[in-house]
Structure 1
Amino acid sequence: MASAFVVGDTFRNKVTELLEKSDSSLPQRLREELEETLAKPEPKTLSFSTARKLRKWLQDKGHPFYLHELLEESSLHLPEVLKPPRNPELVARLEKIKAKLANEEYNRITRNVNTQDINRSGTLADFGQQMRSVKALVLTIFNFLVTVVAAFACSYMGSQYLFTDTAARVIAAVIAASVVGLAELYVLVRTMEGELGEP
């Protein structure tokens, strides 16, 4: 917290003139404080209490200049804040907590990494498992297409007894194939959900 001014050249010049005047009736204590302020090495600081005494004396004597004019080029002196040393026990605890949090974050990130899978990558067993899954997928798609085409063909052939117009027969076959395709998709999705372990 500020408790002094860093005085500028205006203050130095005016106070020097004031101190040199032999007829000035400066109180002895105020004179000593002002001389001590001017004798300080740079930066020269003027305490607030001395500034108050000087302002009061200037007001009482009716001098033609005011304190704010004296302090025109001055600034507040903000002393350097000294940080207290950190407690070594606290620092050690903080480092331990940081290490623990970093370890937990690492474990969370690498939770789903299986080192055995990494070591086995590229083996013939993995290739066989991948081929089985691809084969199952191809068979499922082929089965879906065969079912839809067969439903279309059966509906087209069977609708000849109901409709004589070819356009009506094609529309009836498309509707029947769409219904069978949607039913097949429903069964396929439910089967895949069961394989993934979802209800």
Structure 2
Amino acid sequence: MASAVRAGHRLRRAAEGGELAALPAGLQAELEAALASQGALVPFSLLRRLHTALREAGYPLYLHELLEGCEIDLPEVPVPPRNPELVARLERIKAKLANEEYRRMTRNVTGQMNGTLAEFGRQVRSVKAVVITIFNFIVTVVTAFACTYLGSQYVFAETAARVLSAVIVASVVGLAELYVMVQTLEGDLGKL
């Protein structure tokens, strides 16, 4: 905390030029000693007494005029040396926090890569299941048609009747297979 001012040109001129001759001798001597000291530091207590003396004497010179050009002397605050144990502990904490921050930032990156590959694998399995189901549907319908066409030769002599009966049976088998396939896909899509 500031407790003194560094004397400016106006205060020096007033003290040396005799403008403050009406001041008590002790106060004037104290002011001259302060001005002659190293750095010309004038304490606030001396300035208060100077202000009071100027007011009582009815002096035409005001304190703010005397302090023109003065600077407040702010003493340097001594910085205590840091405890090496505390410094080491702070460094460990900073390193730990930086490591946690790094892990937090990279967790999503690593998770996305694994998640993307896992999602890709899941989609491949789903597509594989759909392809197998469609292939099974086609094979079942074609087989039902072929079996009915070949088996109906013992019942029908005409080709048109054989084809018509094979199409009807293949359609019924196809609709039944389609119903089962939709139920299966709906169940698989519900799990995704």
Higher helix share: 2
The structure number with the bigger radius of gyration is: 2
Specify the alignment match of 2:65 in structure 1: 69
Residue pair 2:7, 2:67 contacting (<8 A) in 1 also: yes
Matched, 1:92 2:85: yes
1:53 corresponds to: 49
Q: Secondary structure at the match of 2:72?
A: strand
- Residue type matched to 1:102 in 2? A
Q: Distance in 2 between matches of 1:109 and 1:38?
A: 60
Q: Give the distance between the partners of 2:87 and 2:42, measured in 1 at CA.
A: 43
Equivalents in 2 of 1:49, 1:100: separation in Å? 48
Alignment CA distance shift 1:45-1:143 (3 Å): same
CA, structure 1 residues 54+18, in 2 after alignment: closer, same or farther (shift >3 Å)? farther
TM-score (norm 2): 0.57
- Identity among equivalent pairs (%): 27
CA deviation after TM superposition for structure 1 residue 45, in Å? 1.5
Offset of residue 64 of structure 1: 0.7
Q: CA deviation at 1:16?
A: 1.6
- In structure 2, the residue matched to 1:180 is 184
Q: How does 1:134-145 map to 2 (within 5 A)?
A: 141-145=127-131
- 1:146 maps to amino acid: I
TM, length-normalised to structure 1: 0.55
1:147-190 deviation digits (Å, cap 9, x = unpaired): 14645886x822899xxxxxxxxxxx5x8754432223446x5x
Shift of 1:59: 0.8
Closer/same/farther in 2, CA of residues 31 and 148 from structure 1, 3 Å limit? same
Classify 1:100/1:157 alpha carbon distance in 2 versus 1 (closer, same or farther; 3 Å). Answer: same
Within 5 Å, give how 1:139-178 maps onto structure 2. 141-148=127-134, 150=136, 157-158=171-172, 177-178=181-182
How many residues in Structure 1 have an aligned counterpart in Structure 2?
146
Could you list the per-position Cα deviations for residues 131-153 of structure 1 after superposition, in whole angstroms to 9, with x for gaps in the alignment?
xxx7x985663232221464588
Q: Is the 8 A contact 2:23 2:54 kept in 1?
A: no
Q: Give the Å deviation of 1:6.
A: 1.7
- Once the two structures are superposed, residues 83-138 of structure 1 have per-residue CA deviations (whole angstroms, 9 ceiling, x without a partner) of 2233xxx422541463377369759978xxxxxxxxxxxxxxxxxxxxxxx7x985
Flag structure 2 segments of 5+ consecutive residues without an equivalent: 104-120, 142-169
What value does the CA root-mean-square deviation take over the aligned residues? Answer: 4.0
What is the CA-CA distance between 1:58 and the residue it aligns to?
A: 0.7
Deviation at 1:34, TM superposition (A): 1.2
Given the superposition, is the C-alpha separation of residues 138 and 46 from structure 1 closer, same or farther in structure 2, using an over 3 Å criterion?
Answer: closer
